[in-house]
Amino acid sequence: MNAIAQLRSATWSSHQRLEKRLDVKARFSSLSAYRAHLERMCGFCAGLEQRLSEQVFGDALADYDSRRKLPLLARDLLSVGVAADTITRLPRCEAIPACPDAASAFGCLYVLEGATLGGRTLLPLVEERLGLSARDGAAFLASYGADVAAMWQRFGAALNAWCCTPERQACAAATAVATFDALQNWLCGSTP
């Protein structure tokens, strides 16, 4: 089994649990609820991107810098009326797993790259309900735009190439599960 399939299998229950608890309809029901969701996502991504860096990935993921989500979230928050100085002071998630090597970093980033795919299905909901667009308030959901499939394929290829041993796959899978758990706790509170 390649690494992407291993991560999909290892994180399946964590992913399902997060989706059940997230309550997308409520989070995207009003501009204020959506803004609160963006603020929490910004805090999570700030914590995550603080842990990850081009140095952790090295040559394993050459386009890591183009995958950062904080600039998109900041742009969205500005679009929905959050002041720039408020954005910089938003609480940051500190419960992100450590990422001392590329295998653990791939596991962590797997969660956000998967969310990028999910964002494409949520974008029409935000457009319809809130009148926002990829250019105005929903850049995070639109993320890579027309290149989302190509970016996912490149990520999967890099993940499979780097996490080609059972040890690296296990490390990536454990970090991905821990990242899903951290995201769920950050967005929804502790598991009941």
- Which DSSP state fits 137? B
Q: What is the pLDDT of residue 60?
A: 92
Please tell me the predicted confidence (pLDDT) of residue 48: 92
**Domain extents for the chain?**
3-187
Fold of 3-187: Heme Oxygenase; Chain A (1.20.910)
Q: Is the pLDDT of residue 176 over 90?
A: yes
pTM, 2 dp: 0.93
Q: What kind and span of H or E run contains 118?
A: helix 102-130
**Percentage, residues of the chain above pLDDT 70:** 98
Render pLDDT for 104-134 as a digit per residue (tens, 0 to 9). 999 999 999 999 988 999 999 999 999 999 9
Is the model's pLDDT at 66 over the cut of 80?
yes
Inform me whether the pLDDT recorded for 192 exceeds 80: no
Per residue in 13-64, pLDDT (tens digit) is 999 999 899 888 888 999 999 999 999 999 999 999 988 876 788 889 999 9
Q: Which residue has the tokens 């997060």?
A: 18
State the average pLDDT over residues 80-103: 94
